[in-house]
Structure 1
Amino acid sequence: MSEADSEVNAAQGAQDGTEEAPSRGLLLAAVGLVWMAGMLWSARATITGRPSAEMEVTSTAYAMPGAISASLVTGAAVALAVLAFLTRGGRTPGVTVRFIIATGTGLAIGLLGALSIITINTEGWLYAVVGGTVAAAATIGGALAGFRYRRVTAAVCWGAITVFVVGFVLNVLQDMLLPVLGSGDSAASRTNAAGWFGLVQAVLSGVAGALVAYRVLRRARRGPAGPDLRWPLYALAGAGPGLLLVIGEGLTRTAGSRVLELAGKVSELELTVQQMLSGSRLNNGLIVLFVGAFTAIIAVGRTLGPATPALEPTIEAPVATPRPAADPDEIERAARDEPQTVPAQHDD
């Protein structure tokens, strides 16, 4: 390893700081694995519990976005835990080695998650597409953990988990909240209330996710990491959960597009529903992204004190030392003691 690489790795270790702690990395990885396992188990149970092939297809399309989002976060969380374990004791692998380890960890998690979907029916291509999309999402998440500022990546993961929890709680309380938002007997009022509910959910999720990400970074600042991060990284951490939602929607529309197309062929109504859900997910992710970034900027801005004005250097005038008053007797005595100078005479 060259001297330049050593300096880069040392600087990287100073920036990572508390994210190197294995205990915190394991906690985040454990929470991510529980979330991913729960989403995959729910998807498998929902798909296999349908009596017809058409309902299996639509259930797969409904379950895929949630499984992709969980896989993104879990791939990053487990990769962070592996990197924290490998770098304990002051060991600092190179940038390329770290990136390979993180990406490989995400791929391994993704392959394990894909097996739970592919084994539903190994003869058809539908579940292979879903499994491959899940594996790709976890691999991308692992690659994100290999970049610099792992503290920010960990904060984004905690924020994404918070967004999921807030969304889950609000969905459970949806029947109680919709009448408050104006839902009535008419279809127009129910549609309007559903739109307001989606907006409120996105805003609250963005605020909660950003505040959790901010607290994670501030707690890391008080640890052995020492130096604080600049405010753009706080904004990135706040926007990170929404960014993961947008990436997940992008994977759903690209890698999992065949599943959505097949679900849209079931009926015209199902095609309309899939289009509406796809647009709603993208709008939700964008709202979480921008609200989260704005919230994080405000949160870190409140901690910044007023700028101290620069003081101009002042030049002090030298202080004159007062002379003692002259004594007349001393002056006369000095005159008597002074030798008289006789002027020289010149011959004409």
Structure 2
Amino acid sequence: MTRVLLTGGSGFIAAHVLDILLKRGHSVVTTVRSQQKADKIKEAHPTYGKDKLDFAIVEDIAKEDAFEEAVKSDPPFEAVIHTASPFHFNVTDPIKDLINPAVIGTTGVLKSVKKHAPTVKKVVITSSFAAIVNPSKGNWPEHTYSEADWNPATLEDAHKDTTSAYRVSKTLAEKSAWDFVEKENPNFKVSTINPPMVYGEVVHYLNSLDALNTSNQRIRDAILGKWKEEIPPTGGFCWVDVRDVALAHVKAMELPAADQKRFFVTAGAYSNREMVEVIRKHFPEYQDKLPGPDVTSGGYPEEGSFKVDNSRSRTILGIEYIPFEKSIVDTVKSLKAVGA
């Protein structure tokens, strides 16, 4: 049993991380932005007492000292899983809305842990494929992405558009974590988890159709009829189920072999067109909402797309990836439960 601080506990990935931590017998304090969110999470886990599930209010992760109190615990923490970071495209100021919360949030946790939580031996950080991909290369069919790749983006690129700003935020946040480890030499080890598009079941007590994670909004839009005339371009062409992402976080915390490593956590390639076909096959009730066979957009590019290497996550973390069809079916079922 490990005493764990989980940041951003009401987030899409974090909610699944919390489930796995509790099921595996760990003791968790999770940060939330409000008491209301703490109450909702508590209600969903009624069998766990305060010794197994407790809460710390952190209203603004972009403040330098946001986690100063949250990292203090009795009994003391032995690990931190940091998932709290903005992922949305509702941006007016990329530095204020995305870059600062991501970078300051990450370095703030690490500084607070080093200063106030000397018993912590492991910190796992949610990063992203956005910190791996090189957008300037386009589809890059001759390349295979792995943990060795870094997005070359700089702060200046954040002002290009919202997607660029998000990618820069994830890249700079992860780089700031590795820089911290190198310069500060803390007595804890770090792992980062780098997922691409994350699909999978939504946690019902936290979600409505309006409050979905950005990836699952695609599935929502498809079943609400927003893709009937045209299937939008896929973009990233690689995906993963949220349950595998959550398990990767917990395994990275538990396994010493994961120390000081990045993990590109992906199940492989997909296209938006394939997503539509899975929904069509399993959910006839959405037939009139989906694009007809004459709509040919949303597939793979003619020249092909990049390949992915997920061997590190398979061999070190032991992840056996959930298939695409199961992930999409489970997602749609969970969306139906919240009103789709």
TM-score for the superposition, normalised by structure 1: 0.32
Higher helix proportion: 1
What TM-score do the two structures reach when normalised by structure 2? 0.33
Structure with the higher strand share, 1 or 2: 2
